Structure 1
Amino acid sequence: MRIDKYLWCIRFYKTRSIATEACKKGHVKIHGDNVKPSKMVFSGENITVRKDQINYQIQVLDLPTSRLGAKLVDLYRKDITPPEEFEKLELLKYSKDFYRKRGTGRPTKKDRRDIDDFQEDDED
């Protein structure tokens, strides 16, 4: 089975064209090597996929015949992503919260609501 079709079948990407584009951009690797969308996948291979700034590591357990329901995905793949990758994402979220500098423009709607909630707490 092709790598782009496999990633689509196990619901890693919403459409097959998005999976193909990810392969072309070098976000998908098998055993550390960039792959083309037409690369064949076999059972037992390790796939690394960079998505949302996380390097997911997937082990292929079996090849599905078609796109699967969400409950059946774990029969065909094993997620071996180390927990440190998810911790990096959490740190990135916290760093973005404090990134906005004073005087860089108008506050967003969320910023305004946070300010209002903060001021209401001080009045009580």
Structure 2
Amino acid sequence: MAGTGVRIDSWLWAARVYKTRSLATAACRAGHVRLNGERAKAAQPVREGDEVRARISGFDRILKVAGLGVKRGSASVAAQYFVDLTPPPPPRETVAAVPVRDRGTGRPTKRDRREIERLRGLRDDY
């Protein structure tokens, strides 16, 4: 089976990129999986040395195929199926705290709304 390759949806599932094979198939159908730069269909064969890009929750994961597997095993076995080339995520930016109103105070008045907008930086008069 090493010469012919393995279905990409099955490999993604065995490598623990997606939790279920049906999620891997759905990701292929939606165009979230690329094989060597091209959109991959679920039944497309993957071979050792191929580059797989899988979009998971808004971020691309770049994997180089190091081994072929069809059976889902432990995480240590799945780690042997690929080399992770994904760059580290950018550092999180500190976000200003959103002002919180006390419960039961009702709708903000026009003055309150203007103060909230000033705190958020949406308003610069005053």
Give % identity: 34
Distance 2:70 2:20 in 1: 16
Structure 1 residue matching 2:90: 3-state secondary structure? helix
RMSD: 2.2
Q: What is the match of residue 13 of structure 2?
A: 8
Q: Tell me if the contact between 2:14 and 2:73 (Cα under 8 Å) persists in the aligned partners.
A: yes
Distance 1:31 1:61 in 2: 14
Q: 2:41 aligns with which of 12, 16, 36?
A: 36
Q: What is the match of residue 53 of structure 2?
A: 48
1:64-83 equivalence runs, <5 A: 64-83=69-88
Structure 2 residue matching 1:87: 3-state secondary structure? coil
- How many residue pairs get aligned? The number is 98
Q: Which of these two proteins has the greater Rg computed from alpha carbons?
A: 2
Gaps of 5+ in 2: 1-5, 104-126
Q: Post-superposition shift, 1:43?
A: 0.4
TM-score, scaled to structure 2: 0.68
Q: Tell me if the contact between 2:63 and 2:84 (Cα under 8 Å) persists in the aligned partners.
A: yes
Structure 2 residue matching 1:14: 3-state secondary structure? coil
Q: What is the match of residue 112 of structure 1?
A: none
Q: What is the match of residue 60 of structure 1?
A: 65
Task: Please list the CA deviations of residues 38-95 of structure 1 after superposition, one character each: whole Å capped at 9, or x if unmatched.
Answer: 1100000000011111111000001014112111222111100112xx116x34xx55
Q: What is the match of residue 90 of structure 2?
A: 87
Runs of 4+ in 1 over 2 A off after TM superposition: 100-103
Q: What is the match of residue 109 of structure 1?
A: none
TM-score, scaled to structure 1: 0.69
Gaps of 5+ in 1: 107-124
Q: Tell me if the contact between 2:10 and 2:70 (Cα under 8 Å) persists in the aligned partners.
A: no
